[in-house]
């Protein structure tokens, strides 16, 4: 029996044609970049205007993740995209290039067509949990998060650090808001803590553990940037609630204490038997 499937013809893809098409597209982009060079001052001004548009936008421009018992804070992928859009004459992309039994590897590329400099970065993300390998949906989510990180790293490797620092600094000032006196700082502290408690179902003690402070009264404007960055990192998939608020660490410590106590009791019991 003949079907429509029998009539389908398989066409061979000519890789040389694809290469020439891509090359022609890149050549046009380079020519356009040379013809219309970027205005650095305008690019920085436009980037600052966007990140300081409102407090919500500014909050997406930072991230904080726990590393070695401390919170590492820096400019986020959202800030990278904003600056890249205004910097112009860039060709950027990110993709997953490998998935093995334990990791997904993402690659980010940023090519400055005007200055003819290209940076390629790779990021590995774990796809294993306590219960084993993640399912396909979670691997996809992890891969997307890895793509964002790789793209951010590539963009920030091409765009001058002085430009990034200036725009990021303006975003940080917008994040904290006006905390020029103690009354305003107290109000802003409460807003941030209340928001984190509602979003992530965490306690005040867990929030304080992120910045190593004993009381909410000790929280500074810099601490607020870190805490808001933690929230953004969780949303972006850079970290998890358990990792950010050290829940796994606390569980492990408690378990070690229990194991040690059990071992000591067993040792005492054995010693008594031997006597």
Confidence of residue 26 (pLDDT cuts 50, 70, 90): confident
Residue 153 CA to residue 107 CA, distance in Å, equals 10
Q: Burial-class residue 42 by CB neighbours within 10 Å (0-12, 13-18, 19+).
A: exposed
Mean pLDDT computed over 26-33: 82
Tell whether the model's pLDDT for residue 162 goes beyond 70.
yes
Residue 106 has which token pair?
């993402």
pLDDT of residue 106: 97
Arithmetic mean of pLDDT over the chain: 85
- The pLDDT tens digits of the residues spanning 184-238 come to 999 999 999 999 999 999 999 999 999 999 999 999 999 999 999 999 999 888 8
Tell me how crowded residue 232 is: count the other CB atoms within 10 A of its CB: 20
Residue 105 CA to residue 22 CA, distance in Å, equals 25
Confidence of residue 269 (pLDDT cuts 50, 70, 90): very low
Residue 79 CA to residue 73 CA, distance in Å, equals 13
pLDDT of residue 178: 85
- The pLDDT tens digits of the residues spanning 37-89 come to 999 999 999 999 999 999 999 999 999 988 777 788 999 999 999 999 999 99
Q: Which residues make beta-bridge pairs with 124?
A: 105
Tell whether the model's pLDDT for residue 154 goes beyond 70.
yes
């Amino acid at each position: 029996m003949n079907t429509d499937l029998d009539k389908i013809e398989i066409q061979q893809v000519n890789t040389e044609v694809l290469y020439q098409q891509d090359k022609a597209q890149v050549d046009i982009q380079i020519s356009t970049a040379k013809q219309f060079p970027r205005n650095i001052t305008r690019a920085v001004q436009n980037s600052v205007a966007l990140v300081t548009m409102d407090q919500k936008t500014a909050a997406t421009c930072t991230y904080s993740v726990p590393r070695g018992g401390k919170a590492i804070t820096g400019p986020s992928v959202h800030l990278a995209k904003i600056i890249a859009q205004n910097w112009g004459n860039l060709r950027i992309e990110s993709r997953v290039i490998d998935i093995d039994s334990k990791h997904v590897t993402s690659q980010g590329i940023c090519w400055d067509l005007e200055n003819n400099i290209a940076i390629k970065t790779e990021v590995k993300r774990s796809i294993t949990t306590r219960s084993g390998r993640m399912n396909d949906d979670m691997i996809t989510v992890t891969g997307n998060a890895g793509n964002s990180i790789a793209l951010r790293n590539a963009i920030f490797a091409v765009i001058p650090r002085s430009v990034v620092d200036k725009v990021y600094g303006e975003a940080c000032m917008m994040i904290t808001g006006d905390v020029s006196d103690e009354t305003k700082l107290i109000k802003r502290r409460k807003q941030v803590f209340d928001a984190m408690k509602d979003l992530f179902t965490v306690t005040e003690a867990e929030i304080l553990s992120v910045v190593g402070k004993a009381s909410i009264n000790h929280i500074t404007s810099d601490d607020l940037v870190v805490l808001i960055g933690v929230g953004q990192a969780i949303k972006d998939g850079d970290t998890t609630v358990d990792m950010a608020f050290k829940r796994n660490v606390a569980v492990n410590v408690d378990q070690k204490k229990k194991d040690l106590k059990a071992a000591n009791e067993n040792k005492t019991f054995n010693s008594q038997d031997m006597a």
